[in-house]
């Protein structure tokens, strides 16, 4: 007999009873998994197994249409349908078995056979009968193509597991979880994401935009990008401000292009965070072309353009049935007067405050009279949001009287009459 001291009774890390489950990921690609049962639950299990690359054998007297379709559309040999009741020897060669027959007796028999054969078994009807559990799973693919998989089990309470899974999935998509890689490869190039941040409100950036921002090593931001999001980033994320104001471009475009390439060539992941959408007067096309010419991989993440969202913030739709059938978006320095259409065709002018008086005068035509409604929306979705309304004949004087400042979006057309500001002015 050994004089060694007996092993201590295992304890959970929190000092309570030992954990019942040992979390583990299984590589089942190319391996046989048996699914006993032919209903919707068995179909869901089989579909997930096929997506993981397993060879799936389904055993059931009758199978639902979903399983028939799965067998038809899956790669050759991925799904085998055995149309009979479960019997001895059906688990031979299996690495894992799922049973979901709806019959407690059959599920118990499958579980007992799996136990004797030392095969882990998942039972859908009564989890306590099986030797393995299927967690609720949240997945997301990161910018370096790595996949983050989070599995949740919650005391055999599948609804609680799914609720927790959904919360984790939302956090992954929103970028509120720490997704940055911590082992970058200095030998490989980084990537560039041209991200449209929307009109400035942090809630109006897309889920994809939040996800890639959470993984960035470097953020190159415009003046109108959603700057409040920068406070959520890790302190070691490098932030480069290349913001421009009217007539003041401290970092010219060719230098911005060079910054994107420089950091990506150093193996860093770079987010170019813009206001609105990268392709709506955001010079995103130029930056994409420069990066691709340097061999840098680029993804464009669209954003909510201020041309549509900022008017909406003050109750102005750019189109409305019976009022406006279309709209055009221009910059304030372009030839706005050359745009055809009358008050039923909305004009949205970006970066047009400085030349508002000249633009308003040029827009007055036979088709677009002087009493065409116009509005200037300052700081859309920002703390200083304000709208000034008038007509093409009066809007410049009213904007000067109100001391309107950029950033602002100008809207010209009959849709302005739908805004609360126009109704207030009428009263």
Condensed to tens digits (0 to 9), the pLDDT of residues 324-375 reads 999 999 987 666 667 778 889 999 999 889 999 999 999 999 899 999 999 9
Structural domain includes residue 96 = yes
* Same domain (yes/no): 420, 315: yes
Residue range 254-302, pLDDT digits in tens? 999 999 999 999 999 999 999 999 999 989 999 999 999 999 999 999 9
> Does residue 165 lie within any of the structural domains?
yes
**Range in 235-249, 257-271, 384-398 the model is least confident about:** 235-249
Co-location of 313 and 419 in the same domain:
yes
In a domain, 19, yes or no: no
Q: In terms of DSSP H, where are the helices of 53-124?
A: 65-73, 104-116
Is residue 386 pLDDT above 80, yes or no? yes
SS3 92: coil
CATH of the domain at 346: 3.30.950.10
Say how many domains are in the chain: 4
So what's the pLDDT on residue 191?
93
Shared-domain flag, residues 48 and 92? yes
Last residue of a domain, one of 304, 336, 360: 304
CA–CA dist 386, 378 (Å, integer): 5
Residue 179 inside a domain? The answer is no
If asked whether residues 388 and 318 sit together in one domain, one would say yes
- In which order are the strands placed within the sheet that holds 297-301? 238-241, 218-221, 270-274, 191-196, 297-301
- Looking at residue 6, its pLDDT comes to 54
Quick check: is 46 in a domain?
A: yes
402 in any annotated domain: yes
Q: What is the pLDDT confidence band of residue 2, given thresholds at 50, 70 and 90?
A: very low
Identify the band that residue 134 occupies on the pLDDT scale cut at 50, 70 and 90: confident
Range of the domain at 146: 137-174
Q: What mean pLDDT value characterizes the chain?
A: 87
Walk across the sheet containing 386-391 and list its strands: 326-331, 345-350, 408-412, 373-378, 386-391
Instruction: Check residue 146 and give its pLDDT.
Output: 67
Q: Are both 147 and 162 inside the same structural domain?
A: yes
Catalytically active residues are: 222, 244
Of 271, 304, 337, which one is at a domain's C-terminal end?
Answer: 304
Q: Which of 261, 279, 304 is the last residue of a domain?
A: 304
pLDDT in tens, 185-209: 556 889 999 999 999 888 899 989 9
Instruction: Write down the pLDDT at residue 238.
Output: 93
141-to-149, 177, 179, 193 alpha-carbon distances in Å: 9, 13, 10, 15
Which residues sit opposite 345 in a β-bridge? 326
Asked whether the whole model's pTM tops 0.85, one would answer: no
């Amino acid at each position: 007999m050994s004089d060694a001291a007996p092993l201590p009774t295992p304890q959970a890390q929190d000092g309570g009873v030992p954990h019942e489950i040992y979390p583990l990921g299984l590589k089942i690609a190319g391996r046989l998994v048996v699914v006993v049962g032919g209903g919707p639950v068995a179909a869901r299990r089989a579909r997930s197994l096929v997506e993981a690359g397993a060879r799936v054998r389904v055993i059931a007297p009758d199978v639902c249409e979903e399983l028939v379709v799965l067998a038809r559309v899956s790669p050759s040999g991925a799904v085998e349908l055995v149309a009979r009741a479960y019997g001895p020897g059906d688990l031979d060669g299996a690495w894992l078995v799922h049973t979901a027959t709806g019959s407690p007796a059959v599920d118990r028999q499958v579980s007992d056979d799996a136990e004797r054969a030392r095969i882990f078994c998942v039972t859908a009807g009564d989890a306590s009968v099986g030797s393995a559990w299927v967690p609720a799973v949240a997945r997301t693919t990161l910018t370096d193509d790595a996949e983050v998989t989070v599995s949740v089990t919650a005391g055999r309470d599948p609804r609680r597991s799914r609720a927790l899974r959904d919360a984790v999935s939302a956090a992954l998509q929103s970028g509120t979880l720490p997704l940055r890689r911590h082992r970058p490869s200095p030998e490989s190039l980084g990537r560039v994401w041209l991200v449209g941040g929307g009109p400035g409100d942090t809630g109006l950036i897309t889920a994809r935009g939040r996800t890639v921002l959470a993984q960035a090593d470097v953020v190159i931001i415009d003046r109108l990008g959603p700057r409040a999001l920068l406070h959520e980033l890790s302190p070691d994320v490098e932030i480069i401000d290349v913001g421009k104001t009217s007539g003041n471009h401290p970092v010219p475009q060719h230098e911005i292009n060079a910054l994107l390439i420089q950091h990506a060539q150093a193996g860093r992941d770079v987010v170019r965070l813009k206001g609105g959408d990268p392709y709506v007067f955001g010079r995103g096309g130029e930056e994409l072309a420069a990066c691709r010419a340097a061999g840098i991989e680029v993804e464009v993440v669209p954003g909510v353009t201020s041309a549509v969202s900022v008017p909406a913030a003050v109750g102005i739709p750019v189109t409305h049935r019976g009022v406006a059938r279309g709209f055009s978006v221009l910059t304030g320095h372009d030839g706005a007067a050359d745009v055809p259409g009358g008050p039923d065709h909305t004009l949205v002018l970006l970066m047009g405050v400085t030349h508002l008086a000249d633009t308003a005068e040029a827009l007055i035509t036979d088709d677009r009279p002087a009493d065409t409604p116009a509005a200037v929306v300052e700081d859309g979705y920002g703390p200083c949001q304000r709208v000034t309304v008038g007509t093409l004949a009066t809007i410049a004087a009213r904007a000067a009287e109100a001391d309107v400042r950029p950033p602002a979006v100008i809207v010209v057309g009959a849709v302005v009459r739908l805004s609360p500001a126009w109704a207030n002015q009428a009263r």
